[in-house]
Amino acid sequence: MTQKKVAAFFDLDRTLISVNSGYLYAKHERANKRITAQQFWISAFYIVLYHFSLVDIEAAYRKAATYYTGVPEEDLRTRTHDWFLEYIQNLLQPGALVALEAHREAGHPLVLLTSSSEYVSEIVMDTWNLDAWLANRFELDEEGRLTGGVNTPLCYGDGKVVYAERWAEENNVDLDASFFYSDSYSDRPMLERVGQPRVVNPDPRLTRLARKLGWPIHDWNETENAVLL
Ligand SMILES: [Mg+2]
């Protein structure tokens, strides 16, 4: 039997990049008048709650997906691509670059594990040369338009563990020996699932947990001590 591989999983928002991309996306959509002012403020409100793990994210995500009912997938892909180039591609944290390189060097597959959309994830993977992504996907009708539905479970909280386990199984990866990097308390289930949890510029709740459990804490505003293999 071949030995199982070690992988490195990365959260996106406030981990690989320094911001919440959902907020910037909502702002961009509002600027282009593709969502109403009210929809924008609802989204912004939920993103704040989400940051502090105070919200039923499933309900919020389902609501956001309904804004796109009837939009052709290709349009959304193009929009997301344009938005990414303008707002996101320069926001990779300095420490993230160091960590990605170190894991690549070590031969670990690099996997994006995010609650953002599949369209964002495709571009992230191409831009920073990752090997795979696990993210939220939208239901499509026969003509390739969004129905307003989202695949379940959501790739969030416990759902991230479901997708990671499935992917690990298919790719001969041992999660007990793998790494996961995140800033957010909402990622606690996946941080507990891997053998090498890594906490990056954590929110206050996650800081307390990491200190209690002895998980390494990194500051990815810096390149020093960005990675501990
Ligand atoms: Mg995050």
Q: Calculate how far, in angstroms, residue 183's C-alpha sits from the geometric centre of ligand 1.
A: 5
- Per the structure block, which two tokens stand in for 54? 């105070």
pLDDT of 46 > 70? The answer is no
**pLDDT tens digit string along 51-79?**
655 567 777 778 878 888 999 999 989 98
Would you state the pLDDT for residue 61? Answer: 79
**Cα of 114 from ligand 1 centre, angstroms:** 8
The pLDDT tens digits for 149-179 are 989 999 999 999 999 999 999 999 999 999 9
Q: Is the dihedral of CA 95, 99, 105, 106 positive or negative?
A: positive
- Nearest Cα to 143, choosing from 33, 66, 69, 82? 69
The answer to which of 15-24, 96-105, 109-118 has the lowest mean pLDDT is 15-24
* Gap from CA of 11 to ligand 1 centroid (Å): 6
Q: What is the pTM of this model?
A: 0.92
Task: Enumerate domains of the chain plus CATH numbers.
Answer: 8-218 (3.40.50.1000)
Q: What is the CA(13)–ligand 1 centre distance, in A? A: 4
Residue 62: per-residue pLDDT: 82
CA of 141 to the centre of ligand 1 (A): 30
Checking if the pLDDT of 105 tops 90, the result is yes
ω into 216 cis (within 30 of 0): no
Q: Mean pLDDT over all residues of the chain?
A: 91
Q: Which residues pair with 133 in a beta bridge?
A: 112
Interval between CA 155 and ligand 1 midpoint (Å): 12
| 198 CA → ligand 1 middle, Å | 12
User: 14 alpha carbon to ligand 1 midpoint, in Å?
Assistant: 5
Distance CA 152, CA 125 (A): 22
107 or 41: whose pLDDT is higher? Answer: 107
Asked if the model's pLDDT at residue 33 lies above 70, the reply is yes
Strand, helix or coil for residue 132: strand
Question: Ligand 1 centre from 70 Cα, in Å?
Answer: 29
CA of 3 relative to ligand 1 center, distance in Å: 31
Report d(CA 134, CA 10) in Å as an integer. Answer: 10
184 C-alpha to ligand 1 centroid (Å):
5
Q: How confident is the model at residue 24 (pLDDT cuts 50, 70, 90)?
A: confident
For the ranges 34-38, 127-131, 193-197, 223-227, which has the lowest average pLDDT?
A: 34-38
What confidence score (pLDDT) does residue 40 get? Answer: 73
Quote the strand ranges of 58-120, DSSP E: 110-117
Alpha helices per DSSP H over 128-187: 158-170
**Structure tokens that stand for 188 in this block:** 């606690």
57 and 20 in contact (C-beta within 8 Å)? no
Q: Please report the pLDDT score of residue 50 as a whole number.
A: 62
Q: Is 146 helix (H, G, I), strand (E, B) or coil?
A: strand
Give residue 12 CA to ligand 1 midpoint distance, Å: 6
